[in-house]
Structure 1
Amino acid sequence: MGDPAPTELEFADEVAAFFEQEGMPLIAGRVIGWLLVCDPPEQTPAQLAEALQVSRSSISSAVRLLTPSGLVRRTRRPGRRDQYLSIPPDGWSRMLAARYAKTAAFRRVAERGLAALPDSPPERRERLANVHRLYLFLEDELPALWRRWEQAADTPEGTGAKGFDAAASGAGDRT
């Protein structure tokens, strides 16, 4: 017999623990976790604070961190002063797209670093050269991966693994 299913709040805490290991504040991870499973899917800051048993100022700080990437969306309803927070259907994709769009920018930073070390011994340049090679690789490969994701997301199966597997079968196709 498997582990018992977590409660919604336990799930939010598990998401928070995952993202905390990635350097994100715990409350931001809890907001992500809660917004992934809450009903209704749009929550006011007051609803989030109550559900997560934290202060509204903690929610506000987390939302300021999560909205620039597009992962969390703020909306207002006509005639209402409250803002509503949600993870839009394409929120994860937008967040990753924004992150991947910075690949070329950091590759250029690494190139400037290598240019600053023109006469340095190879062992001194190695760490930075490895980063530069990685970002060159990512810059080349991510567009094709992203196209396959978009194809998979548009399949009738939805955005699940089956749709991705079907689209990925053309993985060697680079148009």
Structure 2
Amino acid sequence: MSSQDNQDEVLRWIERVATFCVEEWALSPITGRILGLLMICDPPERSAGQIAETIQASRASLTSNMRFLTTIGLIRKVRVPGDRTTYYRIEDDAWHKVIQRKLDSLGAFGDVADEGMQLAGGAGPRTERIRAAQQALTWLRDIAARNPLKT
């Protein structure tokens, strides 16, 4: 396999990551491409210019997406001694953070559901719809609590 074939396969995989992020998490395609690239690149650090060139993104859109990913803790800035360039790499526990945030949000829905059931009068079809959502989310949260992620 040639180097170009491998590069094409890597770019297709990055695009698959981007598609997943768009469809499952409503992130922008550029955000997904950044994550995909930083997961698969070697060495694991890339400058903003290298990222923009690889995923063919404008510097302006790249900057806002990099800021978003840095703020939520999925990527971090890396400095190399003697080099003024800022590099970025995906955090080692990035996916643990993503999943933990999702699990935390499931638990937080319990309070919202309790309030909704009180507003709905505690009985009847409205209450049952809310209770069904609460039970499903609680079930998922409890499974995760019994099987915590290892980092």
Length-normalised TM-score, structure 1:
0.71
SS state at 2:46 partner: coil
**Offset of residue 138 of structure 1:** 2.7
Within-5 A mapping of 1:1-175: 7-22=9-24, 23-78=26-81, 80-118=83-121, 122-146=124-148, 149-150=149-150
Report if aligned partners of 2:110, 2:134 keep a CA contact under 8 Å in 1. Answer: yes
Instruction: Label 1:50 to 1:115 Cα distance change in 2 as closer, same or farther (>3 A).
Output: same
1:106-134 Cα offsets, whole Å, 9 max, x none, are 21112111111116x62223332211112
Q: Is the 8 A contact 1:30 1:52 kept in 2?
A: yes
What is the distance in 2 between the residues matched to 1:93 and 1:14? 20
Q: Say how many residue pairs are matched.
A: 145
* 1:10-44 deviation per Cα after TM superposition (whole angstroms, max 9, x unaligned): 11111111211122111111111111111221111
The answer (yes or no) to whether the contact 2:116–2:127 under 8 Å persists in 1 is no
Question: Relative contact order (alpha carbons < 8 A, sep ≥ 6): 1 or 2 greater?
Answer: 2
Write the distance in 1 (CA, Å) between the matches of 2:113 and 2:83: 48
Which one is further off, 50-59 or 87-96?
87-96
Q: What SS is found at the alignment partner of 2:77? A: strand
Correspondence for 1:161: none
State the percentage of identical aligned residues.
32
Residue segments in structure 1 that go unaligned for 5+ positions in a row: 154-175
Query: CA offset at residue 81 of structure 1?
Result: 4.2
| Runs of 5+ unmatched residues, structure 2 | none
Contact 2:75/2:91 (<8 A) preserved: yes
Q: Are 2:106 and 2:137, in contact at CA under 8 Å, matched by a contact in 1?
A: yes
| Cα pair 1:69 1:98 within 8 Å, conserved | no
> Alignment RMSD, CA only?
2.3
Bigger helix fraction: 2
